[in-house]
Structure 1
Amino acid sequence: MTQKIILQGEIELLEPSNVSKVELSLLKAAQKVSENSYSPYSSFQVGAAVLLENGEILQSSNQENVSYPVGVCAERLVLGYAGANFPDQFPQIIAIVARRKGDQNWAKVSPCGMCLQGINEVEQRFGKPITILILRPDQSVYRVEGVKNLLPLKIDDLTS
């Protein structure tokens, strides 16, 4: 017997005028930190900013290595820093931006699979979804409530 499984996700598309001040400040922080990207191999600059529940804003950019698997994505780097330095503070919102070095426009991207799984781990740890903001080339923003909307077959538990 064959079954067809339909997976669905929900993503809001916000016009720039509908992005809150808090969300806008996070996106701007991600844009600024993307300039610190160390990406000599891909020339793809990624920035991520996280708002912790205590109001602290953390940010990071991708850091490449000539041995590609050794590099770290901006999203996982900032969430790892948050976990190491603010272990009891839930990262409520993560904002993500990316563009090719020298380009004026921001790229249309999504976090990679490893980053999505990393976001999932933080959500599991705190028992609640993280809001994910992704800046688009036209300055509109994807708002995603929880990683399940981008990674429906996420790995949640290795014991079952």
Structure 2
Amino acid sequence: MKKINLSTSITLFNSISELPEEVQSLMNEAIKIRETAYAPYSKFLVGTAFLLENGEVITGNNQENAAYPSGMCAERVAVWKASSDYPGIPILKIAITAKSLNNLVSEPIAPCGACRQTLSEYEINQKYNIEIYFMGETGKIIKTDSLLDLLPLAFDKSFL
């Protein structure tokens, strides 16, 4: 038997003003689109903005449905839009923000497991790391250098 330790390195920013200018702009786009999320049931609004290699910014927000499994997370809305509108163009950076209409969200909110799995496939296929920045409504922002930092030992097409 052999024990293997996995580790992830993150960068922690205290506020949006500490982010690089390009990422501040991206996070502000995520905040803007977050406000138009359709979340009448959970009251939990999520917005995301993707910076593509060609300079385009793609946004998405969560879309709920009374039949809960029929809703969709902001990250998957945006990644599928990016893939549909700009096939083959790598994703460089992702900004994610979340807020609740029920209480203040001051801790960074990472992508859910399904979004991590979906985004990992895009990162693996493009053979280029995607920087991920995520925050709550206010407060600190976490940055990872790769989606795979959030999903070590990811399942991909090589297992099929």
Same fold, TM exceeding 0.5? Answer: yes
Check the 8 A contact 1:107/1:136 in 2, yes or no: yes
Structure 1, unaligned runs of 5 or more: none
Deviations 1:9-67 (A, max 9, x none): 11111233431111001111001101111111111000000011111111110001111
SS in 2 for 1:72: coil
Count residues with an aligned counterpart: 159
What does residue 111 of structure 1 align with?
111
Alignment of 1:1-160 (within 5 A): 2-16=1-15, 17-101=17-101, 103=103, 105-136=105-136, 138-159=138-159
Q: State the 1:158 CA deviation.
A: 4.5
Identical-pair percentage: 35
Report the Cα distance in structure 2 between the residues aligned to 1:97 and 1:71, rounded to whole angstroms: 18
Asked whether the 8 Å contact 2:108–2:142 carries over to 1, the reply is no
Q: Deviations over 1:74-131 (max 9, x none)?
A: 0011000000010121110010000102655555311000100111011112111100
The TM-score with structure 1 as length reference comes to 0.91
- Please report how far the alpha carbon of residue 4 of structure 1 lies from its aligned counterpart in structure 2 after TM superposition: 2.7
Taking the aligned partners of 1:104 and 1:90, their CA distance within structure 2 comes to: 34
Mapped partners of 2:113, 2:105: distance in 1: 24
Tell me how large the CA RMSD over aligned residues is. 1.8
- Corresponding residue SS for 2:3: coil
The amino acid across from 2:37 in the alignment is S
